[in-house]
Structure 1
Amino acid sequence: MVSLDLPVPFWKSSDALFGNQIFHLMDTSLYGGFFRIFTDGSYSPPASYASAVFFEDLSICQTWTLSGPHSVLTTELYAILQALTFVKRHLPPKPIVLYTDSQSSLHLLLSSRPPSHMQLVCVIHSLLRYFASPPPWTVHLQWVPSHVGIHGNEIVDHAAQQAHHSQHLIYLDPDPAALCSHIRQACTSLWEQSLSLELDPTSLGLVRADAAIHPWARHPCRQLDVALTRLRIGHTGLNGHLHRLGLVDSPWCPWRPHGEETVEHFLLWCPRFHSYRVALQEHLATLGYPRLSLPLLLGGSGDPDTHLQVMRLLCRFLRSSG
């Protein structure tokens, strides 16, 4: 008999003592006399991946350090694969329970058409079919919570962490999904670096430093949408910009001599709009923002849940100030 067992509802508590007690109750009542195996996978930045297996009844721990771009899910599946391979090669038919704290691994193994890690899942499936054929084994893959003081799980977790220091690397073909994810992350990182260098000397660099999508930045009113965009890129009808284009004689603000009329000056300092700015500050304070800044008003810094509210308050300020 082969079974894969995911967590039960009463095991969702984050209390370590409760989780440990439930494990020992389950272990003694369901898996008394079983050969116990614990598996774990680990990732250590910037690019180290390790798997570990602890055979509790034999007091044996094995570790592997994987080369190449992978994912934590790959390390978890690889640990399960190595544990089942060891059982097939070295043990006679007996009741086996394999404990893992990776729900994602069990969900993949339950699928007949896994969306990722097809190669590893297929090999594990072939091993499980072997255990189900005569003479039949009793093999359970059981989920357990991590970091609740379960002795075997703590040992295998520590072993996986230590495996990152190994110089002996095991080559494993990267999963296409994991490889695509690494390529996407590398491209995004390169784009972020290039964008930051390009934005630094510009007006947009004052309010935006990355390439993150800002869906809240658009406004359904075209007039306000244009105004917000012009404020972000600095192409406005303010004297500071018009003077650089040679359209006005002076960059100074009419309401503050020797103060250049820039976007920052207009939104944060200009005395002409003081009363409207006070109202804006009071509303922003209720959202948890006691101070005005360009990144807050135009760049979306702060809590993502309040971005849309901040934009609406800024639009109200623009309407009031004309």
Structure 2
Amino acid sequence: MAGNMVADHLANLRRTEKDGAILKNVYSVPEKIREIINDHKQQMLQRIKATTTNLAVTSRYSMGILPWLTHSVRPIQSALIRLRSGHNKLNGTISKWDMDTKPNFPHRCTETENASHVLLPCPTYSAAREELKQTLEKLKHPMNVPTLTGINCSIPKHSQQKMAQKLIVFLIKSKLLERI
């Protein structure tokens, strides 16, 4: 799909040129093609940023798809994307459309059950969260939702991969993987 859009863009540019030259071999002008493709990507990013407030979408287009968001195990990949987007199966989200569901955390906690609560302050998951917390401290990154979900663009990809591995371990240990 993206390739078709770039090809259309290239064809339209060639059609509107006033120099009368015929472009015989596309590969003879690779610099121009790279320039056009980069321009097209920037235009798409600006359009997406103008129409969405979802940081996961805008970050994906500005940084490229992060390797940890394309995990080989489908339930893990789904859980990571759900945490990042905020569209998950936690009570805080479900209560928005199901009036019978209370948004509170189901275990001893009066807080709203959402991604921010289960990832950070919830005492129920503190033991499972310890390894993740130590990794963040070692890498000298803040323990917050944008950092844990890969939205913090200032963190290098290799650090994000380490954090993502520990986040996955946390989700499995805490059995949140089944609930998100």
Asked if residue 196 in structure 1 is aligned to residue 46 in structure 2, the reply is: no
CA distance in 1, matches of 2:94, 2:76: 20
> Given that residues 251 and 260 in structure 1 are in contact (C-alpha distance below 8 angstroms), is that contact kept between their aligned partners in structure 2?
yes
1:53-72 counterparts in 2 under 5 A? Answer: none
1:209 to 46, 53, 59: 59
Give the gaps of 5 or more residues in structure 1: 1-114, 119-175
Residue matched to 1:179: 32
Superposition misfits of 4+ residues, deviation over 6 angstroms: none
> Given that residues 218 and 225 in structure 1 are in contact (C-alpha distance below 8 angstroms), is that contact kept between their aligned partners in structure 2?
yes
> Given that residues 132 and 163 in structure 2 are in contact (C-alpha distance below 8 angstroms), is that contact kept between their aligned partners in structure 1?
no
Structure 2 CA distance for partners of 1:247 and 1:219, relative to 1, 3 Å: farther
- Please say which structure displays the higher CA radius of gyration: 1
Give the gaps of 5 or more residues in structure 2: 1-25, 176-180
CA distance in 2, matches of 1:207, 1:273: 28
Aligned residue pair count? 145
Residue matched to 1:244: 96
> Given that residues 120 and 144 in structure 2 are in contact (C-alpha distance below 8 angstroms), is that contact kept between their aligned partners in structure 1?
yes
1:47-196 counterparts in 2 under 5 A? Answer: 176-196=29-49
| Percentage of pairs with the same residue | 26
Measured on the aligned residues, the alpha-carbon RMSD in Å equals 2.6
Structure 2 CA distance for partners of 1:210 and 1:222, relative to 1, 3 Å: closer
Structure 2 CA distance for partners of 1:299 and 1:197, relative to 1, 3 Å: farther
State the Cα distance separating 1:242 from its structure 2 match.
Answer: 0.6
Q: Which structure shows the bigger proportion of residues in strand conformation?
A: 1
AA of the residue aligned to 2:43: L
CA distance in 2, matches of 1:320, 1:199: 34
Structure 2 CA distance for partners of 1:209 and 1:222, relative to 1, 3 Å: closer
Residue matched to 2:143: 292
TM-score of the superposed pair, with normalisation by structure 1: 0.40
AA of the residue aligned to 1:281: K
Q: Which structure shows the bigger proportion of residues in helix conformation?
A: 2
Asked if residue 317 in structure 1 is aligned to residue 167 in structure 2, the reply is: no
Residue 246 of structure 1 aligns to a residue whose secondary structure is coil
